[in-house]
Structure 1
Amino acid sequence: MLIGGPLGWSLAPLLKQHIPSVYNALKPIASIYANAAGHRKMGLRYDDLIIEEREDVQKAINRLPTRESYDRVFRMRRGILQSAAHKHLSKEEWVKPEEDVRYLAPIVEQVAKEDAERAMWDSMAVERKK
């Protein structure tokens, strides 16, 4: 049983719940991968990398609280400037693993569920009893 949504499929919740030893063994590898990806060195969170062109992501971004939306735009602009300069931020400004929380993915999943429910109700055929 894979846990999934519009952002992909994940075995992590399943492993964490049923096979914690495998989860604990893979967690350091996941941390190494996240650090090697480089987005934290640019001051970005993982959810800042979600492609914005999808309609459900656009709706989710519009639902963000004002402060979170402002912070997201700031991180994106700073990351673009760092990328253009081919530099990383100073080590003190890197996003720490405990700060790199999923803030957009839960909203995107909620929007996708709402869209699926709306599509189900919109396409429902009503038959009269005879």
Structure 2
Amino acid sequence: MAMNMIQKRFMSSSALQKWIYNLSGFNRVGLWRDDLLLETPEVKEALRRLPEYVIDERNYRIIRAAQLSLEHRILPKDQWTKLEDDKLYLTPLVNDVIKEKEERKQWENNH
């Protein structure tokens, strides 16, 4: 009985996540969540660390989204980015850069 409640809660949470993801709209032009990060110094450093082919893929998605936006169009629904296909390719690197900055600052304060 308790397991069914947990499963239902998890399923509804997953359904809610998909609903919110689709409501955001960026997936309708083929963007991924990490494509939307503001280019702070930490994000710029993380981008510098990515392989060139990942940068090329990111640039293609951004250019295509900009073109679609200019034309006031969206992709056909079968080409929308799905939550399960959206990879956080940049966030882990950004977190590493932030952690490195904090460690460097602590080290400089202690030495």
User: Within 5 Å, which residues of 2 pair with 1:27-66?
Assistant: 27-52=14-39, 54-66=40-52
**Identity, % of aligned positions:** 33
Distance in structure 2 (CA, Å) of the matches to 1:116 and 1:23: 35
Q: Larger RCO: Structure 1 or Structure 2 (Cα < 8 Å, ≥ 6 residues apart)?
A: 2
What's the counterpart of residue 71 of structure 2?
85
Question: Which runs of 5 or more residues in structure 2 are unaligned?
Answer: 1-5
When the two structures are aligned, how many residues end up with a matched partner? 106
Do residues 100 (structure 1) and 70 (structure 2) align?
no
Structure with the bigger percentage of strand? 1
Residue 12 of structure 2 aligns with an amino acid whose one-letter code is A
* TM-score when normalising by structure 1: 0.75
Q: Tell me how far apart the structure 2 counterparts of residues 90 and 124 of structure 1 sit (CA, whole Å).
A: 56
1:34 alignment partner AA:
Y
Once the two structures are TM-superposed, the CA of residue 96 in structure 1 deviates from its matched residue by: 2.4
Is there any run of 5+ residues in structure 1 with no aligned partner, and where?
1-18, 126-130
TM-score by length of 2: 0.86
> Once structures 1 and 2 are overlaid, which stretch shifts more, 100-109 or 88-97?
88-97
Higher helix share: 2
